[in-house]
Amino acid sequence: MLMQSPTVGFDALNLIDPICRAVRDEEYTSPTPIQQKAIPHLLEGRDLLGCAQTGTGKTAAFALPILHLLSEGDQASGSKSPRALVLTPTRELALQISDSFRVYGRHLNLKQALVFGGVSPKPQINALRRGVDIVIATPGRLIDLYNQRCLRLDKIEVLVLDEADRMLDMGFLPDIRKIYSMTPKNRQSMLFSATLPDDILRLTKDFLSDPVRVSVNPPASTVEKIDQRVLFVDRENKGALLESVLQDEDIDKVLVFARTKHGANRIVKNLGKARIKADAIHGNKSQAARMEALKKFRAGTLQVLVATDIASRGLDVDGITHVINYELPNEAESYVHRIGRTARAGAVGVALSFCDAGEKGYLRQIESTINRTVSVIDDHPYHSESIASKRVSASGGKAGGKFSSRRYGNHTTGSRSSGGPGKNQNRKKHFSSKPGKRTRSRAPRAVASH
């Protein structure tokens, strides 16, 4: 994803003309901060450690210089072996990266192949046998095809490990080590991660050689650009609350997060009973089913997409107005990643979190990580005063905030009794993602575009 910045232009990065033309075709004029910082070093052949989240333009930060370097370099006559390898944790992210290479490389004579599980390997094997320059792959299927001698990795010139923190969370470290051992030692390597925990830093020492370190958009500054709210609710009332929230006319395209695959399926089933169009993406879904759900969600024929953290990694869909944490994640970094699916490329977005009694500890960790208090919406019909009254924010104070909605026209604004709604005179919109229609809050917040 490329996002415009008012600084330098792409021409100043010394990329070859066919790439600059492809970028202009997409009507992008200026590189993002991660692109400005990373591309010059990568064109010089340096290894790179990049700390950047999805939505910062990091895919183009490595795709553009890879296309440049492969086009300018010499390939052995008759060789069909790939020269660049991009490793990703999920099939969805692999597909999106492949799309980016296709768009930016449209004026170049370079071929690519996608390699991931969940689908028949035959088309992937056939593409590799015809010869490709770039392979975008998930680790498991790549190793399977390597073991079947369907591809060689001894000609790899550039290796990218994307979403490295999620790779480690998913247990891919042994696969990553094996793949690295299959590639030449003199390759150029890049590692991108949304966070830099100790295990990632140890990984960089093993696999990167004197890397340049580039960091943009730390989590706190990213989440401050999103209108965040928390709704206290008993666990058994979450389903009813979600149905109520989704009646608001300003909620257009919604991404709902669940902790488990079964939980995601249950949410979709219950929404279906309420005649709300929804589908789920998670590890138990076939690749075809996941791609179909994403296609409908992008097209707007599906209002709600329910996802687990792993399935949503790298998910990049334009126009998501709201992210709803049906269940809070037990890691604050996952919260930052989740809500970053909205308010992208300058759009306005809202993040709503349903917090039950057992999730209050998670909420405190999240507030500590993002260094702010999440505002409370307390005038919904399923508000739990017993949970809210015991809640202490990371800053030591109680967050405030009211809201009302057309859907809740018979309820009193500010009613704090558990499940005891009254009459609402103001008829404001609870969850508007439109500028100028946000709800008031005593908690500090920053509203800005990306």
pLDDT in single tens digits along all 450 residues of the chain? 444 444 468 888 999 999 999 999 888 878 988 999 999 999 999 999 998 876 678 899 999 999 999 999 876 555 789 999 999 988 888 988 999 999 999 999 999 999 999 889 999 999 999 999 999 999 999 999 999 999 999 999 999 999 898 888 788 999 999 999 999 999 999 999 887 888 888 889 989 999 999 988 554 455 667 899 999 999 999 999 999 999 988 888 999 999 989 999 999 999 999 999 999 998 788 778 888 898 899 888 999 999 988 666 667 787 888 999 999 988 777 888 888 888 765 567 899 999 999 999 899 988 887 888 899 999 999 999 999 987 444 433 343 443 333 332 223 233 333 233 233 333 234 555 443 333 333 333 222 222
For helices 58-72 and 17-25, angle between their N-to-C axes, nearest 10 degrees: 150
CA–CA separation, 402 and 415 (whole Å) = 9
- The whole-number pLDDT of residue 75 equals 67
Report the alpha-carbon distance of residue 310 to residue 20 in Å, rounded.
Answer: 34
Q: What is the model's pTM?
A: 0.61
Would you state the pLDDT for residue 441? 34
pLDDT on residue 415: 32
Rounded to whole angstroms, the maximal C-alpha distance in the chain is 77
* Predicted pLDDT of residue 395: 38
Identical topology for domains 10-217 and 220-252+319-408: yes
Q: What architecture (CATH level 2) is domain 220-252+319-408?
A: 3-Layer(aba) Sandwich (3.40)
Q: In what order do the strands lie in the sheet with 188-193?
A: 112-115, 134-137, 84-87, 158-161, 188-193, 48-51, 212-215
Rounded CA gap, 220 and 222, in Å?
5
Instruction: Determine whether 44 is exposed, middle or buried from the number of CB atoms within 10 Å of its CB (0-12, 13-18, 19+).
Output: exposed
Fold for domain 10-217? Answer: Rossmann fold (3.40.50)
The CA distance from 146 to 82, in Å, is 12
List alpha helices for 151-216, DSSP H: 164-169, 173-182, 198-207
State the Cα–Cα distance between residues 383 and 397, nearest whole angstrom.
19
Question: DSSP assignment of 78-113, as one string?
Answer: T--S-SEEEE-SSHHHHHHHHHHHHHHTTTS---EE
CA distances from 247 to 67, 241, 264, 280, 302 (A): 46, 10, 20, 19, 14
- For tokens 């999730």, the residue is 359
- Between CA 427 and CA 97 the distance in angstroms is 44
Q: Give pLDDT, residue 125.
A: 96
pLDDT for 403: 38
Domain regions of the chain by residue span:
10-217, 220-252+319-408
Give the model's pLDDT for residue 40.
96
The pLDDT of residue 432 = 53
DSSP string spanning 303-343? Answer: SEEEE-HHHHTT---TT--EEEESS--SSHHHHHHHHTTSS
